[in-house]
Amino acid sequence: MLNIVIFGPPGSGKGTQSENLIKTYNLEHISTGDLLRKEISTNTQLGALAKGHMDKGELVPDDVIIGMIDSFLDKMKNANGVIFDGFPRTVAQAEALQELLKTYKTDVNVTLNLNVPDEELITRLIERGKTSGRSDDNLETIKTRLQTYNNQTKPVLDFYKKQGVAVDIKGVGTIDAIFADIKKAVDAVK
């Protein structure tokens, strides 16, 4: 299996580049943000719990997220590989993912770290807010999301650096130019 973590702050282009990866490598895709938004739009109990955290720019509790990943992986036994988008967002999630993947005798092959300066992120997220209909795309929440990223999510990068699977990708430029760098990094581990 080819397992890719697409990593970076909110607004760094994880969703966009995931689409390119899916098309190029025929992989399954899991976006925890999308799954949570689906729970919200179908008014589930999990959705109600998640919305409270998401609207504040905070993370949804690890046990909820890990449970979602566990049931997703269960359905992926025969997949070519998986793109993890927006997950793991804490070191506890990264450790849980490693344990779950062990049961399938596989691991994360590469973590693509999209680098984008904060100012550019804020501009992109505010732009996205105009059309996304996402209640967390407003300036106040965006600022908290960036703080949450720096405090809780950035340490995940060190976890993958220690394992030698993290690759830095310049996340500014055209979508195609960024994907060309991503493709090089993925082809190197394929």
Kindly list the catalytic residues: 14, 89, 128, 134, 145
* Under rule CB under 6 A, residue 53 binds ligand ADP: yes
Contact string (CB under 6 A) for ligand ADP, positions 83-112, x = contact = ---xx-x---x-------------------
In order, the DSSP letters of 114-161 are EE--HHHHHHHHHHHHHHH--TT-SHHHHHHHHHHIIIIIHHHHHHHH
* DSSP helix, strand, coil percent of the chain (3-state; round to 5): 60, 15, 25
Q: How far is the CB of 11 from ligand ADP (least distance, A)?
A: 6
Q: How far is the CB of 190 from ligand ADP (least distance, A)?
A: 25
> Which is closer to ligand ADP, CB of 144 or CB of 190?
144
Q: Which residue has the tokens 């993912």?
A: 97
Q: Does 124 bind ligand ADP (CB under 6 A)?
A: no
1 or 64: CB nearest ligand ADP: 64
Compute and round to an integer the Cα radius of gyration of the chain: 16
Cα 20 → chain centroid:
14
The nearest distance, CB 22 to ligand ADP, in angstroms, is 16
Structure tokens belonging to residue 143: 């600022």
Site string for ligand ADP, 127-166 (x = CB under 6 A): ---------x--------x---------------------
Query: How would you class 9 by CB atoms within 10 Å of its CB: exposed for 0-12, middle for 13-18, buried for 19 or more?
Result: buried
Distance between CA atoms of 138 and 133, rounded to whole angstroms? 10
Measured from each CB, the residue nearest to ligand ADP is 33
Q: CB of 166 within 8 A of CB of 113?
A: yes
* Least distance CB 32 / ligand ADP (angstroms): 3
Per CB under 6 A, residues contacting ligand ADP are 10, 32-33, 36, 53-54, 57-60, 65, 86-87, 89, 93, 136, 145
